[in-house]
Structure 1
């Protein structure tokens, strides 16, 4: 059961990393530090969007429209942090 706990924590950490990378990359693209015409940047952006859009989509439907501000990544980060806290506090159930 310890391995299940560790795998869940690993998946949450990976999701956390991808969300942070997506947010930072979106800022760099919007401030024109990264150019979407470069193939590697476009591929990474497309891949991260394909990975995270199924998570962001339902949250975007629930959250109110904030104009140009997307709060879905923040909501997912809070959800991941809550899941990590719950798993850590209930780690004794996995042992």
Structure 2
């Protein structure tokens, strides 16, 4: 059971990094710092979107419209931190 808990804990940590990377990439694209016409950038942005969107979309449905500011990554990260904390306390590491 401890190995499964550690695996879930680590996967959630990796997913947190992916959410952060996705948010940063979306800002860089929105401010024109990187160009999505570059095929490599487009593939990276699309991959990050496809990996994070299944988690962020349901969160967005419950959040109020803040006029173009998407706080769903922050909410997702907070939920991941809470889940990791529960796992760490349950397993004892």
TM-score, shorter chain, exceeding 0.5: yes
Match of residue 13 from structure 1: 13
Per the TM alignment, residue 65 of structure 1 is displaced from its structure 2 partner at its CA by 0.6
Match of residue 55 from structure 1: 55
User: Cα RMSD over matched residues?
Assistant: 1.3
Counterparts of 1:87 and 1:34, CA distance in 2? 38
Equivalent residue runs for 1:32-47 within 5 Å: 32-47=32-47
Match of residue 74 from structure 1: 74
* Deviating more after overlay: 25-34 vs 76-85: 25-34
Number of aligned residues:
93
Equivalent residue runs for 1:14-29 within 5 Å: 14-29=14-29
Match of residue 86 from structure 2: 86
Q: 5+ unaligned residues in a row in structure 2: which ranges?
A: none
Q: 5+ unaligned residues in a row in structure 1: which ranges?
A: none
| TM-score calculated relative to the size of structure 2 | 0.93
Do residues 3 (structure 1) and 3 (structure 2) align? yes
Counterparts of 2:20 and 2:57, CA distance in 1? 17
| TM-score calculated relative to the size of structure 1 | 0.91
